[in-house]
Amino acid sequence: MAASEKIPAHLRTRGSMEASDRREAYPPMPEALEVAVYDNHAHLEIADGENPLDFREHLDRAGSVGVHGVIQVGTNVATSLWSADVAAVEPRVLAAVAIHPNEAPELHQKGTLDDALQVIDDLAKRPRVVAIGETGLDFFRTEGPLQPPQRRSFIEHIRLAKAHNLALQIHDRDAHHDVVDVLLKEGAPERTVFHCYSGDRELAEILNANGWYASFAGTVTFGNAKGVQESLAVMNKSRILIETDTPFLTPTPHRGKPNSPYMIPHTLRFMAKYLDTDVNLLAAQITDNTFDVYGRWDDNPPTIRTNPVTGEPWDELEPSRFHAS
């Protein structure tokens, strides 16, 4: 981000991604946690709901309920740049950068996948970029003929994570066996995270055996997520993380509403109840795990404090184009 530029409040809308009208109100604030946790995976650049929250509003609400920071995740060149730029100026944000598995085949067809991967390589050198992701395999949306470039992109992201000593955040949809196969053949990074864990007990045991992490989103609270819930019980507690995948996958009891990092307490309390453990103990364990994977949010503090051209605070935002009129 150039010093004279403002940060866009949003880059896209959830409604445009789903061809739907997203005029929902945000859920009410939950009871605050006593022990702080961190949201391992969010997309704050996506506007959702009738009056979308910008990233500062998301973070302010999250902080007030005990969610002290977020990993902001890129899925293409534009969102990865945005993620890295926000992390460079916002103390409550660290960034992950990548080309999403469903973006890779399209870029391959255009002949621009390697150029995009080079941008990710460059962004990975920034001090507040702490992960490569989300990357992986998605056989739900990507048909057989387009799976080879998706696999190649995944392998290149693994290489980048190891080259830069960063964590790897994996998107795995209907591709458990193939994801594990690639990780074992290529050699997984030391800190490998299955974002929005969607597997069963068998996959959880594979994660435990390899020291990989499972990040649980609001889906763990859903009534039809028995396999995910059983996996939570199986997972080594030192390998559990928590996330929202904002603006998607809002936990029960607000499923279907816009999601935000401030919804984490609902997911955490469900997890603690399911595990028959104390919420504070689980929060402390997950926070320790989060620091083990990404480091602390103040390890490399933001250095951009004011705009030297205008003299205004760094956090000038362009007004969101997506607020209801």
Residue list, annotated binding site: 41, 43, 134, 171, 195, 245
Closest CA to 238 of 284, 185, 202, 196: 284
The values of phi and psi at residue 93, to 5°, are -125, 130
Distance from C-alpha of 79 to C-alpha of 75, rounded to nearest angstrom: 6
DSSP 239: G
Q: Which residues contact 225 (CB under 8 A, 6 or more apart)?
A: 219
Could you tell me which residues are annotated as the binding site for a divalent metal cation? 41, 43, 134, 171, 195, 245
Distance from C-alpha of 223 to C-alpha of 252, rounded to nearest angstrom: 9
Contacts 24+ apart (CB under 8 A), 75-79: 75/43, 75/99, 75/100, 75/103, 75/134, 76/100, 76/103, 76/116, 77/116, 77/119, 77/120, 78/11, 79/11, 79/43, 79/45
